[in-house]
Structure 1
Amino acid sequence: MITFVYAVLVFQVLRFTVSLFNFLSNPKLGYYGKHFTEPVSVIISGKRAEATALLQSIQEQDYDQIEIFFKEEQEEETLLHQARGRYFLFLDAGNTIRKGMINNLIQRTKVFDLDLLSLIPNRKDLSFLERCTLPLQDLLLLNLFPLRFVKLNQALLLSIASKSCMFYNAQRYRLHHRSSPAAEPMKLKAEILLANKFVYANDHPDLDEQGRGLLRTLGRSVPVALLYLLLSLAGPLLMLLNYDYVFLFLPLGLIFLTRMMTSFLTAQNPLYNVLLHPLQMLMLVLLLLKACWMKVFTSVQH
């Protein structure tokens, strides 16, 4: 039992350390104040009727060289042939973007010679249920992965990158898209950053979709998901029931500080996240267990 308690404490310290590193390194898209003129092709996933707010936010950009395509309205090869942009900006129809974002994306891409820059969107105007579930994705990401170092592992980077906002060098994207499946995967110089309020995701994913997203963050591995739940939730709960309360100051303090740091990084309300933490953890258990159940039995059926 004491060995398990030590394992729980070590895991809590590691989560806190990763969160602290992310907090101090501040992996956000910055505002650089520069203006560019290269053409950018904005490629929107989703129906045109769902993209009214996004189209309005694109029009309000301080950038003129923009062309817009809807991915579902034509074959991808045709789209790539028609798109004339030097950069491709892939966005979900439910997103909105803030003035200055495209110039900042180009600046970051140029300075670091990136092939791909993925932004993790912010969220706002959440319902009570969404406040209990949607912050979990950012929590897992920021207390498990030091974002500044994720770019060193391309497989990991591509697995946790946000597909709802991706900015590509168009030439590299075409080469990557047209490479043979049998060929060795093309190395992409890529980076993941927090959107820093430049992109908002305004969609309302259902609980099953959120569960799949959480499992994807944990490598789509059922054993890893179960181990995470064991060390992050079952362990502290066991300590609460079996040990003197004085021993809980360390894990509870680390959890509190982790929630505060990840909340500030993602522009979430830290008070809500601290007060709702027990409910969020309950939803984390339910969402992950259901996602694991569906993955196991879907695999068995196939």
Structure 2
Amino acid sequence: MKHKKILSFLLTLLLLISTISVNMSYAETTPSIEMVLNKTTANVGDIITATIKINNVRYLAGYQLNIKYDPEVLQPVNPKTGAEFTERTMPVNGNLLMNEEYGPTNMVANNIKSGILNFGCVYTYANDYKAVGIDEHTGIIGEIGFKVLKSKNTSIKFEDTLTMPDAISGTNLFNWDSEIITGYSVIQPDPIIIEAEPLKDAYVSMELDKTKVKVGDIITGTIKIENMKNFGGYQLNIKYDPTVLEAVDLATGGAIETRTWPVTGETVLLNEEYGPTRIVMNNKSAGIVNFGSTYTYL
């Protein structure tokens, strides 16, 4: 009886291992090429690293890829050194099709100004490669760095081109018989969100001309901005105690009402060519001065 239990356990274990092997084999039968980004949210000045991967593409012996990006937003660079790509720069840090015994030959026709990276590699001695019978089917073609130049959402993707008429979404893969490989999927990276460029040493402040006063005195608050790059509008909400203070128009001395523009002596957002537009929503009973201005023709 004990032997039967042991036998039953071994059979169950064998069945479990077989099931796992089948699942693993099934997972490996999905050939693809993909571009993976190390981040999809970045700031101006950051470098985004794109890694191009091959997954289970059997008998791979060559490739040609066409990658499109926005050259106003991104600049291709070496992800390690930051050196800018040229028309003849290949991706770096790859581990596929690099065996010198089979004569790896690179082909590059980048167009940096147009935002195109077009490059490839092929084993010249593909017959020798095939004769050995050990194919390179999974690994990394290479890495490309993209330096963020501008605060604008963008994307990097494989894209078709007229110079590659038989391509699958901008990718051509070749086997060791020099035939085009089909039946694989092309996995594109997610869109890239470029966050607004952080302002350096920028601030808004309110300075009072005096902090010790008597009843009947007028305190003047001056609101200043510094280093607000690309400044085009504002809205401010100022709170005070209406049982102690009364907001007044410095030009007339009269109380500030719901629609009274509370500011005098402005030096920003005054150019009539850009249509400065004011908004006012004061509430003197609640002790609130709320106002703003923006250029209509930004």
The TM-score with structure 2 as length reference comes to 0.23
Instruction: Report which of the two structures shows the higher radius of gyration computed on alpha carbons.
Output: 2
TM-score by length of 1: 0.23
Return the structure number with greater helix share.
1
Name which structure has the greater RCO, CA cutoff 8 Å, separation 6+: 1
| Larger strand fraction of residues | 2
